[in-house]
Copies of this chain bind each other. A is one copy, B any other.
Amino acid sequence: MTDRAAIEGELMDVVRELYPICRSITGNGVRETLAILGRYLPLRLTEVPTGTQVLDWVVPREWNIRDAWIKRSDGQRIVDFHAHNLHVVNYSVPVSGRFRLEQLRPHLFSLPDQPDAIPYRTSYYADSWGFCLTDRQLRELPDDEYDVCIDSSLTEGSLTYAEALLPGDTTDEILISAHVCHPSLSDDNLSGLAVAALLARELGAESRRRYSVRILFAPGTIGAIAWLAKNRETAHRIKHGLTLTCLGDGLPFAFKKTFDGNTELDRVAALVLKESGQDHSLVNYFPYGYDERQYNSPGFRLPVGSLMRGQHGQFPEYHTSLDNLSFVSGKGLAESYDVLRAMIGTLQRNRRYVNLAPYGEPQLGKRGLYRAVGGTGLPGLQFAMLWVLAMSDGEHTLLDIAERAGLTFDAAHTAATLLLEHELLAHDKVDALNSVNTMEKASP
């Protein structure tokens, strides 16, 4: 089996293992999920008790569910939580009783335009209950009396999130954040969890890294808010961040920009996606979607973008039972894995250098840097070296150079590495100082 086939298989294995679990914004489904993910990266769990004030919000009660069903008067289960956990409106209060069809109807949700799909509905922050079913099922319900049971509990408990920190040379961080609250939906967001977990495993195996890398698995909205509340003083260490979602489908890539829209991350994402050869689009920031809206909020303004393939609400499988295991593929997941790895790798290597022979052009020939590249004309590496020398004035990063010269980032980096070896280039002091300053700022 090739490495490629291996990673594709592993990514699908993670999605497949997590798929049956019924998650919500609180409860054991999240814990069970985090336990599985914890095999791939050193996750540290945090439990935030019900009732804790987190920024403008309060952690809600913990929700757990054991069973739920609707039975016809003849005792046959016609809607069954164990058949599909989307059948229950997520966060439903417990209910038990007998209802006539017209009494039941306000609690039943279907998608008339997609008669074979079960919708995904939630009732967070509202004491209600309900069932989701296909429109075909709904239309076939006889005028009967129905026994209804939702064996759920809403109790004092806690909200759970988990994070891993891969320490770098500085306390400056790259954040990878994926929401962990959706039940049996593959693309949204088991795909993000799988990609993040397996990439963290690979990154963790590196001997050294410049930025620290933080991976955060938290329930959507309230989880990110809880994390931000607990890390309000140090959140500024996040210099670049990405929320991950819908990465397993075969749709074109989309990068949703940060609030600023022109940060280093935004430019790295554009370059990496261009170099990837993948169809993609760059989407302007808007203040809804996933947890990037929390990170980018005015009090934090962390430069966090969002990497996705299928976009929020824009594909028919979105938030329905059609977002199942066959909607995602190892190929789709692995392509996302590659793009994410390239983004992080570019951020980690994007430095400023200083040309140590800045007066005129240094004589590359006497250092064997013509021989190193040989041939006639202007070969790629020599071209890259000339650009790196011309722009390494302490103002420009390798990203600036790649963008302006039309080089790949790797070409610019290879040239810089060679020039560094030949002592024609040095790391920029300001670049190094920045990190130290950050470390100082980081200790309150």
Contacts and interface: CB of A to CB of B under 8 A. Distances in A.
Interface string A272-288: 00000000000000111
Interface in A241-274: 259
A93 B347 CA distance: 50
A197 to B, nearest CB: 25
Contact of A293 (B297, B359, B361, B366): B361
A166 to B, nearest CB: 25
A34 interface: no
Contacts of A170: none
Contacts of A365: 125-126
A128 interface: no
Given A297-B358, A298-B392, A363 B287 contact: no
Nearest to A383: B288
A232 B358 CA distance: 12
A430 interface: no
Interface stretch (A80-88, A129-137, A221-229): A221-229
Contact of A296 (B57, B126, B301, B390): B390
A359 B390 contact: no
Nearest to A295: B360
A185 interface: no
A360 B225 contact: yes
A51 to B, nearest CB: 14
Interface in A288-304: 288, 293-294, 296-301
Given A125-B366, A288-B378, A359 B389 contact: no
B56 A362 contact: yes
- Secondary structure at the A interface, as helix, strand, loop or mixed, is loop
A216 to B, nearest CB: 14
B360 A299 contact: yes
Contacts of A287: 361, 386-387, 389-390
Given A56-B363, A299-B359, A386 B288 contact: yes
Nearest to A288: B386
Contacts of A101: none
A184 interface: no
Contact of A360 (B56, B125, B363): B56
A297 B232 contact: no
A299 B363 contact: no
A386 B298 CA distance: 12
A355 interface: yes
Interface in A359-390: 359-363, 365-366, 378, 383, 386-387, 389-390
A357 interface: yes
A299 B389 contact: no
Given A125-B365, A298-B392, A386-B287, A357 B259 contact: no
Given A228-B359, A288-B378, 16 more contacts: A57-B363, A125-B365, A126-B365, A225-B361, A259-B390, A293-B386, A293-B390, A294-B360, A296-B390, A297-B358, A297-B360, A297-B361, A297-B389, A298-B391, A298-B393, A299-B355
13 contacts: A56-B357, A56-B363, A125-B365, A286-B387, A287-B386, A287-B389, A288-B386, A293-B361, A297-B358, A297-B360, A298-B355, A298-B391, A301-B393
8 shortest interchain CB distances as A-B pairs:
A299-B358, A299-B359, A287-B390, A298-B358, A298-B393, A56-B362, A55-B360, A287-B386
